[in-house]
């Protein structure tokens, strides 16, 4: 049972950062949980890349493809993005698992889209349904998201800078874009971390790749201890800051945490919003650890 002190502390942290948000944390082994508005639909942004990774590893474990299969990626066209293949200029050939690494470690949008087109949107959603994750839906890849933004702004994504408001965009409306809930997201992570519904090899590869994310400014900032392991995925869009992952302590206790924020402004850099993801996660995890 979540005490009002935990909920109030998380709400207070969000208020101090000038954001609103949704949170869910669950003890992977006991099932004890803590949450705030955990069942409301949220825009996943790049957190949708977790289901993509899960489906890749599931198909590989089923023998449909090998993670070492190689894909040639031409220099153009490339999906918009600030990292990885999205900003690289030349033809390249990589394995599927290295594409997945780029997708998760630096949130490479083009690597993501190569994988999504290979795996299939329908298969990704069917895989989620097979894991009883009915509140998590992938409607399209990164290019699809940017295409909806361009359409909603009259034909050009460059119009984002001049638009008086972006809040009506489909990409920022949970019911019209890639979506989940905080609870459904942690439930997916819990299944991965317990090999529940996934072949052990598939789950282990998801865990390995998720542990390679490089960003320290959100979830990881709440757990700065060297002996605490973090495996996670960020998500960022205008007005949206997210991260979902697993926090593992040296005593073996493990907690899946998902934090989805909505910002009042559209600024690309918001250190307070980034940091409160870690702060809120730490409040919830400390509560669950104390209740063990």
What pLDDT score was predicted for residue 2? 64
For 91-145, the pLDDT digits (tens) are 999 999 999 999 999 999 999 999 999 999 999 999 999 999 999 999 999 999 9
- Residues 86 and 209: their CA atoms lie apart, in Å, by 19
Which domains are delineated in the chain? 4-290 (3.40.710.10)
Mean pLDDT calculated for residue range 266-286:
96
- CB of 137 closer than 8 Å to CB of 125: yes
- Residues 184 and 106: their CA atoms lie apart, in Å, by 24
CA atoms within 13 A on the CB side of 292: 16
Tokens found for residue 275: 């940091």
Helix (H) or strand (E) run with residue 73 in it: strand 70-73
What pLDDT score was predicted for residue 168? 85
- Among the listed residues 237, 287, 284, 228, the one whose alpha carbon sits nearest the alpha carbon of residue 262: 237
**Quick check: 184 pLDDT over 80?**
yes
What pLDDT score was predicted for residue 155? 78
**Quick check: 4 pLDDT over 80?**
no
For 205-236, the pLDDT digits (tens) are 999 999 999 999 999 999 999 999 999 999 99
């Amino acid at each position: 049972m979540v005490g009002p002190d935990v909920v109030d502390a998380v709400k207070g942290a969000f208020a101090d950062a000038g954001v609103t948000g949704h949170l869910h944390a669950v003890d992977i082994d006991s099932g004890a949980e803590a949450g705030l508005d955990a069942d409301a639909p949220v825009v996943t942004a790049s957190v949708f890349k977790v289901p993509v990774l899960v489906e890749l590893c599931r198909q590989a474990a089923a023998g449909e493809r090998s993670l070492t299969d190689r894909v040639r990626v031409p220099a153009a066209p490339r999906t918009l993005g600030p990292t990885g293949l999205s900003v690289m200029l030349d033809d390249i050939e990589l394995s599927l698992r290295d594409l997945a690494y780029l997708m998760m470690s630096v949130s490479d949008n083009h690597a993501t889209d190569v994988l999504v087109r290979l795996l299939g949107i329908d298969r990704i959603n069917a895989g989620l349904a097979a894991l009883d994750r009915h509140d998590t839906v992938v409607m399209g890849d990164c290019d699809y998201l940017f295409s909806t933004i361009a359409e909603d702004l009259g034909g050009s994504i460059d119009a984002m800078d001049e638009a008086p408001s972006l809040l009506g965009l489909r990409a920022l409306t949970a019911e019209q874009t890639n979506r989940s809930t905080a609870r459904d997201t942690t439930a997916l992570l819990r299944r991965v971390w317990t090999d529940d519904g996934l072949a052990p090899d598939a789950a282990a590869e998801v865990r390995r790749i998720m542990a390679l994310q490089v960003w320290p400014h959100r979830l990881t900032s709440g757990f700065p201890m060297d002996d605490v392991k973090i495996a996670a995925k960020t998500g960022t869009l205008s007005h949206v800051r997210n991260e979902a992952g697993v926090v593992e302590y040296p005593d073996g206790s493990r907690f899946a945490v998902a934090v989805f924020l909505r910002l009042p402004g559209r600024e690309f850099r918001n250190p307070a919003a980034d940091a409160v993801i870690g702060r809120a996660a730490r409040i919830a995890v400390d509560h669950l650890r104390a209740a063990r």
